Amino acid sequence: PHDSSDPREPPMSQKLTAALTAAKTCPQCDSPDYQFRARKTIPPEPGREHGEVETKYACKPCGHQWKVRVPAG
């Protein structure tokens, strides 16, 4: 397949790793005390080459739960 990605962009695996390991805080209370809950791969939508990886987190102090989706490669 033809790769039309920008050569200045890091490979998808590097972007995925960076996104999943970046410092995170609860979007509701800004606490850094959160817990990993689950991770799953979302299949690509019709006409798209790559799906996404969805990771779920829960904040320990306030109980807020949120999801982070990043492109899968």
Closest CA relative to residue 65, chosen from 42, 39, 34, 41: 34
Residue 38 predicted with pLDDT over 90: yes
The pLDDT confidence band at residue 2, using thresholds 50, 70 and 90, is very low
d(CA 54, CA 67): 7
The pTM (predicted TM-score) of the whole model is: 0.65
**pLDDT in the model for residue 24:** 82
**Mean of the pLDDT values across residues 51-60?**
95
Residue 12 to residues 5, 15, 18, 58, 61: CA-CA distances in angstroms? 10, 5, 10, 26, 33
